[in-house]
């Protein structure tokens, strides 16, 4: 699971990442909102005790950002 956290920290073509305390705040890049929402939904259903995911809705059908905290 550390590989997943390292991948998030490294960033992605679909999201920007900002270190915040012990965790990360990720936001979708322009034009990547649908891919970002799918990634967040996939992470939300991933069985893990390595991190907590706190997605923030865009008020429609997707997410505008998510906070990821290692446990």
Walk me through the domains of the chain, giving residue ranges and CATH numbers: 2-70 (3.90.1070)
Q: Give mean pLDDT, residues 28-45.
A: 94
**pLDDT over 90 (residue 29):** yes
Q: What is the mean pLDDT of the chain?
A: 91
Q: What is the pLDDT of residue 12?
A: 92
Could you give phi then psi for residue 44, rounded to 5 degrees? Answer: -65, -30
Quote the tokens at residue 38: 């799918």
Measure the CA–CA gap between 45 and 41, rounded to whole angstroms: 7
Q: State pTM to two decimals.
A: 0.87
DSSP structural state of residue 29: P
For residue 49, what pLDDT is reported? 84
Residue 71 contacts by C-beta under 8 Å, 6 or more apart in sequence?
A: 49, 50, 51, 52
Give the Cα separation of 59 and 44 in Å (integer). Answer: 18
Q: What is the pLDDT of residue 59?
A: 92
What pLDDT was estimated at residue 52?
92
């Amino acid at each position: 699971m550390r590989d997943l956290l390292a991948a998030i920290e490294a960033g992605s073509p679909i999201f920007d990442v900002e270190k915040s305390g012990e965790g990360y705040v990720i936001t979708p890049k322009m034009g990547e909102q649908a891919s970002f929402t799918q990634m967040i939904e996939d992470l939300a259903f991933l069985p893990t005790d390595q991190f907590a995911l706190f997605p923030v809705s865009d008020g429609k059908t997707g997410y505008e950002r998510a906070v990821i905290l290692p446990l």
